[in-house]
């Protein structure tokens, strides 16, 4: 766990440097076999216990994962304890994450935060288990809080909102967002695979604005390999 309070508004921690390297190499076939940066547990709106999630990741030999529960990191800390109890072997790298509701262009979107310090005071309003209000609810405030806490901010599933990716991605980029969830299964298919049309559209936008690309199943069910 990162414990030092960071004062710089830019992501500069070792954790985020590593994440930048990982996201820089993401491709359509990374998820869910190698990478899965969007997972939910019972601590928000998922069905999996953190220990079940970790044991699945070990069995599937996933290299990097992140629990991104809504407005809480309790599932992440529980998962850390589970990993500490495992026998020495190939274990997944667990990265701290969160999913935060925010307003962007008067539209509610979800912003994923990675590699941040959960003890930083600016991130505290987003760890209370519920959507914020007022200035804290604005996408600019969410992105700034993640950055001040040393993390990376990513726009989740850009093609799932009332406004189009062509509107939302440039707006998020203007606010300093670091990346977008490019590889996402919008059809909830089994097996999980990125939706071709949306992936191409979102990737082009991400490349245009020089954003990082991420991937994740957005699992809410009992399998980390599917969404539901």
Backbone angles phi, psi at 132, to 5 degrees: -80, 180
pLDDT, position 7? 31
Of the two residues 6 and 46, the one the predictor is more confident about is 46
User: Could you give the C-alpha distances from 167 to 56, 122, 170, 173, 184, in angstroms and in order?
Assistant: 37, 28, 6, 11, 18
pLDDT, position 4? 29
What integer is the mean pLDDT of 4-12? 36
Query: Hey, what are 227's tokens?
Result: 């969404």
> 11, 3, 45, 62: which is closest to 215 by C-alpha?
62
Tens digits of per-residue pLDDT, 97-141? 999 999 999 999 999 999 999 999 999 999 999 999 999 999 999
pLDDT, position 5? 28
The domain segmentation of the chain, as residue ranges, is 18-215
Tens digits of per-residue pLDDT, 54-91? 999 999 999 999 999 999 999 999 999 999 999 878 89
- For the cut 90, the answer to whether the pLDDT of residue 170 exceeds it is yes
Tens digits of per-residue pLDDT, 15-49? 899 999 999 999 999 999 999 999 999 999 999 99
Taking the model in full, what pTM does it have? Answer: 0.94
User: Could you give the C-alpha distances from 7 to 4, 130, 179, in angstroms and in order?
Assistant: 10, 25, 22
Burial of 119 (0-12, 13-18, 19+ CB in 10 A): middle
CATH number of 18-215: 3.20.20.140
- Distance (Å, rounded) from C-alpha 214 to C-alpha 184? 9
Cβ-Cβ contacts under 8 Å for 210 (sequence gap 6 or more): none
């Amino acid at each position: 766990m990162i414990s030092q309070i960071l004062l710089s508004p830019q992501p500069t921690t070792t954790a985020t440097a590593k994440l930048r390297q990982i996201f820089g190499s993401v491709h359509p076939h990374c998820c869910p076999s190698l990478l899965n940066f969007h997972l939910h547990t019972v601590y928000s709106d998922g069905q999996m216990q953190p220990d079940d999630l970790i044991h699945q990741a070990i069995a599937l030999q996933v290299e990097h994962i992140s629990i991104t529960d809504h407005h809480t990191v309790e599932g992440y800390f529980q998962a850390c304890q589970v990993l500490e109890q495992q026998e020495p072997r190939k274990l997944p790298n667990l990265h701290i994450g969160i999913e935060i509701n925010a307003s962007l262009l008067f539209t509610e979107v979800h912003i994923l935060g990675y590699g941040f310090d959960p003890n930083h005071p600016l991130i505290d309003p987003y760890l209370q288990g519920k959507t914020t209000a007022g200035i804290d609810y604005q996408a600019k405030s969410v992105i700034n809080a993640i950055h001040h806490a040393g993390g990376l901010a990513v726009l989740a599933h850009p093609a799932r909102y009332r406004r189009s990716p062509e509107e939302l991605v440039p707006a998020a980029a203007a606010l300093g967002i670091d990346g977008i969830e490019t590889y996402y299964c919008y059809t909830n298919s089994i097996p999980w695979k990125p939706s071709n049309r949306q992936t191409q559209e979102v990737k082009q936008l991400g490349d245009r604005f020089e954003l990082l690309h991420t991937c994740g199943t957005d699992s809410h069910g009992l399998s980390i390999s599917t969404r539901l």
